Amino acid sequence: MQIESLELFVEVARRGSFAEVARLHEKDASSVSRAISALEGKLGVRLFQRTTRRVSLTEAGRVFLDRAAPLIEGLAMAQDEARAMSSEPQGNLRLTTSVSLGQQCVVPLLPRFRELFPKISIELLLTDANLDLVAERIDLAIRLGQRPEADYISARLLDTRYRVCASPSYLKDCAPLRRPQDLGRHRCLLQPLPGFSTRWRFASTLGDVTERTEELVPVDGDIVISNAVALRDAAVSGLGPALLVDWLIKDQLASGELADVFPYHLVTPTGFNPGVWLVYPSRRFLAQKVRVTADFFKQYLGRKQQGD
């Protein structure tokens, strides 16, 4: 029984598609199907129910997956551990993060990463969707917001803070923006994400922290932009106030292209403890390439944003 056949079986079981697994491995779908058929022939049982639309596990297939998946994972761990004893970090690493964070923070660090780890190749997947790390074979994810779901291991890379920003030219000619409630008289720049497009959550930083109260302020606007970098540029152009994360607007605030409209308020689209998180699937042994990459971002991403 070939190890490759077992690996293909586990991936087809998780993805439910011969074609998708074939694409990931740069194979013909027919070759993946033949490998699975050969495995079924050796076992003497049918592992998958096949239809024109989908592939699903049989009862025997589910039992076999429960036993085979830990074996395949254990073998991969053993190989990684053996390589780590005798060589520098190497291999292909799949990393995903949001489009804006990738453009602003991750890509500028790649030259330093290549200098330190020339034998690790990076496959960077920029998307604002939270990919399934296991199904998509993602080694590491860098995610924004509150602490990620408990199914994964996560470590906070840096704290973040949101700010309502607008250009000086907009603030000069617009209706007064003295209180968060004044946003109701403005056409805000919005993102089509939960909490970004209908109401923003404010809390004053003045007074006793223990007595701080929160307020939801409705917002509306006629420009909705899915990319945060483009949203920032629209705010710089004077199109209206926008809710933007601090690491994205640090340079624009310093240069005066943008102004913090409510500097004495905390503001957030969701919760008041957002961050940038390093996330990876829970494993007993972390591959050397994953471990050194995680350590790299822990060291350099936070330091870069703090201006060191």
CATH of the domain at 252: 3.40.190.290
Same domain, 154 and 278: yes
- Domain of 148 in residue numbering reads as 88-158+274-305
What local confidence, expressed as pLDDT, does residue 220 receive? Answer: 94
Q: Is the pLDDT of residue 188 over 90?
A: yes
- Asked if 144 and 245 count as a contact pair (C-beta separation under 8 A), the reply is yes
Query: How far apart are the C-alpha atoms of 13 and 68, rounded to whole Å?
Result: 11
0.85 exceeded by the pTM?
no
Q: Are residues 104 and 175 in the same domain?
A: no
141 and 129 in one domain? yes
The whole-angstrom separation of Cα 2 and Cα 158 is 44
Q: Domain ends where: 35, 58, 85?
A: 85
Whether 149 and 294 share a structural domain = yes
Q: Which residue has the tokens 């073998």?
A: 75
Of the three residues 85, 108, 142, the one that is the final residue of a domain is: 85
Asked if 41 and 127 sit in the same domain, the reply is no
Same domain for 130 and 81: no
How many CA atoms lie within 13 Å of 201's alpha carbon, on the beta-carbon side? 13
- Are 9 and 44 members of one domain? yes
Residues facing 201 on adjacent strands: 216, 268
State the Cα–Cα distance between residues 57 and 9, nearest whole angstrom.
Answer: 10
In whole numbers, what is the pLDDT of the chain averaged over residues? 85
Q: Are residues 154 and 197 located together in one domain of the fold?
A: no
Q: 85, 117, 147: which is the final residue of a domain?
A: 85
We report the CATH number of the domain holding residue 39 as 1.10.10.10
Residues 37 and 186 in one domain: no
Task: Please give the structure tokens belonging to residue 230.
Answer: 């483009």
Are residues 252 and 238 in contact, defined by beta-carbon separation less than 8 angstroms? no
Q: How confident is the model at residue 163 (pLDDT cuts 50, 70, 90)?
A: very high
Q: Name the residue among 287, 252, 19, 96 with its Cα closest to residue 244.
A: 252
User: Do 145 and 286 sit in the same domain of this protein?
Assistant: yes
Give the pairing type, strands 120-126 and 91-97: parallel
Report the distance separating Cα 196 and Cα 227, nearest Å. Answer: 12
Q: 108: domain CATH number?
A: 3.40.190.10
Bridge-based pairing of strands 152-159 and 199-204 is unpaired
Residue, of 243 and 284, whose pLDDT is higher: 243
61 and 8 fall within a common domain: yes
**Residue that is written with structure tokens 């936070």 in the block:** 302
Residues 152 and 93 in one domain: yes
The amino acid at residue 251 is: D
Q: How confident is the model at residue 132, as a pLDDT?
A: 82
- pLDDT score, position 307: 47
Span 125-142, average pLDDT: 87
Hey, is 28 helix, strand or coil? coil
pLDDT at 77 over 80: no
Tally of structural domains, the chain: 3
pLDDT at 66 over 50: yes
More confident residue, 161 or 85: 161
How many CB atoms within 10 Å of residue 167? 22
